[in-house]
Amino acid sequence: MEMVQYKSLISTQHPSHWKVVRNKAFLSITGEVVGKRANEFVLLSLTTNGVIVRDVESGKGKFPKDFDTYQVVKPYDLVFCLFDIDETPRTVGLVEKEGMLTGAYTALKVNQKRAFPQFVYYYYLAVDNIKGLKPYYSGLRKTVRADKFLQIYIPLPPLAEQEKIVSFLEDKTSKIDAYVADKEKEIELLQELKQKTIADAVTKGLNPDAKMKDSGISWIGMIPEHWEVKKIGSLFTERREKVSDKDYPALSVSKQGITPQLDTAVKTDNGDNRKKVCKDDFVVNSRSDRKGSCGVSPYTGSVSLINIVLSPRNNIEVQYFHHLFRSNDYVEEYYRIGRGIVADLWTTRYSEMRNIMVPFPPIAEQHEIVSYINEQCQKIDTLITELQAEIDYLKEYKQRLIADVVTGQVNVQNKI
């Protein structure tokens, strides 16, 4: 197949029999406003999973009040997000269900006598993967004006060839997506296994033949007969010393644990009024909307006042409590005893936390449990890393395949 040189959004060449045309030759702005017909349409949104129906009944998606700027879109229309392109995870989508979409997006109708909507979608998906519209950005928001977008040239195959390209890509990408979904499910199951391994070790110990007793605590249940239960307040003291982030580096408290705060993180105006954290202190965000944000700190630094900082008393293995306090059952118990003025946001204070009863194995057993958890989690994390590497490779392969096929670098005409 003869190729010709051409400066395009993706590739420098394309098959010689493909025509180079402007977007406006096969795309036009839809322009149909919703107005007072809002009850006739479902609410749609452009996401990384494509154009989806917004979930407004569960409260996760709010129904807009003003529909004067909303537009009607129909199956096989294309939706583009042509502003903040570098920061937008997905800038193109293909509409599958009639609905309404915010006017902030550019909705375009495809002249199906000139182009297959799915082909144009795949082409601009490949463009989006490399942020190929950068030469057309303007303004601080890195916007591509709709009229400028319609002037862009792309190489367009004959309709019959577009149809074969679409069939090929739909077959190949659906198989890749299914395989990736299977691998992601494996990772999910491994993460659940990791959580269960930790939870069982910190509440049941390592000896499956150990005699058990009722701990008397509902969230713990049965524990080894020789273990004790103790109040958190007998194992830790609250650290309340106020410091400045100029003297003690700012730390972040998240579900990943305690880490140095990124330079790009939003800073507060209260940098001189923070809590001191020493290495091996346990830190937990007391607000329920940050559920699970906690951990033993490997650093000395400072955190915002919303966090509780606990200094360990003598003769405890802090890593044992790091795992215990991050287990799902304990996290639920911690936030259950909190207080607040709204149903979905409350705070657990130290005065409440200090009275929570926790299992307390002998110190030697605490060390053994930590070693066991580290060993088992390392094995699981290795498997997860291998699976994630496979997923990343497949996603990159999918992107390359789409780009090569929609630019004619890979000829699929005899592969259907």
Among 339, 360, 381, which residue terminates a domain? 360
Would you give the DSSP letter of residue 253? Answer: E
327 with 224, same domain: the answer is: yes
pLDDT confidence of residue 267 = 58
pLDDT confidence of residue 38 = 82
Among 335, 360, 385, which residue terminates a domain? 360
Domain interval for residue 309: 207-360
Task: Count CB atoms within 10 A of the CB of residue 224.
Answer: 19
244 with 348, same domain: the answer is: yes
Question: Structural domain tally of the chain?
Answer: 3
78 with 168, same domain: the answer is: no
| Four-residue CA torsion sign, 172, 173, 179, 182 | negative
Burial class (CB in 10 A: 0-12, 13-18, 19+), 301: buried
282 with 369, same domain: the answer is: no
307: nearest Cα among 316, 317, 321, 297 = 297
74 with 176, same domain: the answer is: no
pLDDT confidence of residue 251 = 96
Q: ∠ CA(328), CA(332), CA(337), 5° rounding?
A: 155
Among 333, 360, 387, which residue terminates a domain? 360
266 φ/ψ angles, rounded to the nearest 5 degrees:
-65, 125
Average pLDDT for runs of 10 along the chain of length 416: 66 87 95 85 90 72 69 95 86 94 93 96 94 88 91 94 96 97 98 96 95 94 96 96 94 94 64 91 92 94 95 94 94 86 76 95 97 97 98 97 94 76
387 φ/ψ angles, rounded to the nearest 5 degrees:
-65, -40
355 with 397, same domain: the answer is: no
135: nearest Cα among 154, 119, 152 = 152
pTM (two decimals): 0.83
Q: Residue 221 belongs to a domain with what CATH number?
A: 3.90.220.20
24 with 146, same domain: the answer is: yes
Q: ∠ CA(274), CA(279), CA(282), 5° rounding?
A: 70
113 with 226, same domain: the answer is: no
347 with 260, same domain: the answer is: yes
352 with 260, same domain: the answer is: yes
354 with 334, same domain: the answer is: yes
310 with 398, same domain: the answer is: no
197: nearest Cα among 383, 335, 348 = 383
